[in-house]
Each structure stands twice: as structure tokens, then as C-alpha cells.
Amino acid sequence: MIHFINKAKYYLYHLLGLSNESTDEQLSGAIDSTRFVVLDTETTGFNYETDRILCIGAIVLQNGVIPIQESVEIYIYQEHYDSSSAKIHGILKGEVSNTKTELESLQAFLDFLGDSIIIAHHALFDITMINRALERNGLPILKNKTLDTGVLYKKTLIKSNLLNHKDHYSLDELTDKFDIPLKDRHTAMGDAYITAIAFLKILKKLREKKEISLHQLFK
């Protein structure tokens, strides 16, 4: 029961874009010099128990720059496959030759990630899918701090009783708001890149109001 409660708290912290650690030296650094890893997953579906990750796309964001050469796109060999989701992600079974086992994929991803702060859109889904895969392979779940661009975007909106704001904003809505091209949408790497641009746009809008620290992004 205690294990279940701790896991539930962990996922809730990530949903809210918070950390379960009250103090952390990592958050005392400057935003621009911090190494972020922006990620996205393509999956066979949305069920945490039965569906699997098809691909992980991850890219570094640091000093306001998105160096494409510092990225990984990992395709996972599928024992489980749902052809009905292929119309969304476009990944056909057997189409990709350079796939890795789930364990090899996770190890490659963890090596790339290190202790970086994760950025994702609707991060709870991606983090939970990765954590379930880690658990299946006997590995510890992610402890990295996580920022959700869906949560951060709402911080840029004008607060007024006259305005009706949504609880959730899709990545497509953010691309529309910030005029971000939809190139390679619904691919793990494409969506990771779009999310990285969205984060920079959000950061710019937040800084227009006042100077903001890394720690404040998590509040």
C-alpha cells in the first residue's frame, strides 16, 4: 500500500509540473545554462498496462539552442503491436530495421538523459509509459524533474473571470498559438522538436511579464 501511495504521489507531482523534493541545488542554476531534454513517445495506444512504446524521441535544449545533432530517436522492437494506431504515428510493424529491444532502448535513453530536467507536452503520459517499461525491465523509475509545456502555457494566459481558459491545451493548439510549423507532427522526434520550440516561446512570454527563475517554473 505504501509503495502504491508513493507511486501515486510521484505521478501527481509530474502531472502538476512539480517536484517532490523541497530543495534541490539543480533548481538554483540559471534557466539558460540548464540542460533540458525534451522528449516524446509514440506508442501502440494509451493503456499503461497493455500498450507499449514504439519510439522515443529526445533532444537537448540548452542556452536557448536546440542542437539537432544532440538528439536520439530510438525505435523499439515490438512483440506487441496494434495496427489501428499506425494511422496516427505511421510506424508499420517491420518497417524500421534498426530497432532495439525494450531494455536496450531504455538503457540508451537513460544514458542520453542523465540527470537533465525533462520537458514534455502532457508529460504524465510519456513519463508513465517510460516508467512502466522501466519497471518491466527491473529498472528504477525516473527521478528527473519534469516540466509540462501544457502546464507552463497556462501560466502565460491572462487571469480574468471574464475569460474561460481550458484545463488542457493540445500540442496542436500551442503550434497554432505560437505559429510553429507542423513538420513531422506525430513522430516522436518531430513532436519533441515542436515541444522544444513551444517551451522557448512560453519562456519568452513569461519573461515579458517579469524575470523568472528555474525554481519558479516549477511553482
Tens of pLDDT, residue by residue, the chain (219 residues): 434 444 454 455 444 444 444 446 788 889 999 999 999 999 988 999 988 999 999 999 999 999 989 999 999 987 755 566 555 545 555 555 568 899 999 999 999 999 999 999 999 999 999 999 999 999 999 999 999 999 999 999 977 666 677 889 999 999 999 999 988 787 899 999 999 999 999 999 999 988 899 999 998
In degrees, rounded to 5, the angle at the alpha carbon of residue 56 between the alpha carbons of residues 150 and 166 is: 15
Record the cell numbers describing residue 56, joined without a space. Answer: 522515443
Residues 97 and 189: their CA atoms lie apart, in Å, by: 17
Do 144 and 117 form a contact (C-beta atoms < 8 A)? yes
Do 184 and 193 form a contact (C-beta atoms < 8 A)? yes
Closest CA to 142 of 45, 41, 63, 30: 41
Bridge partners (DSSP) of residue 159 are: none
Closest CA to 134 of 69, 76, 68, 67: 76
Do 118 and 35 form a contact (C-beta atoms < 8 A)? no
β-strands 117-120, 146-148 pairing: parallel
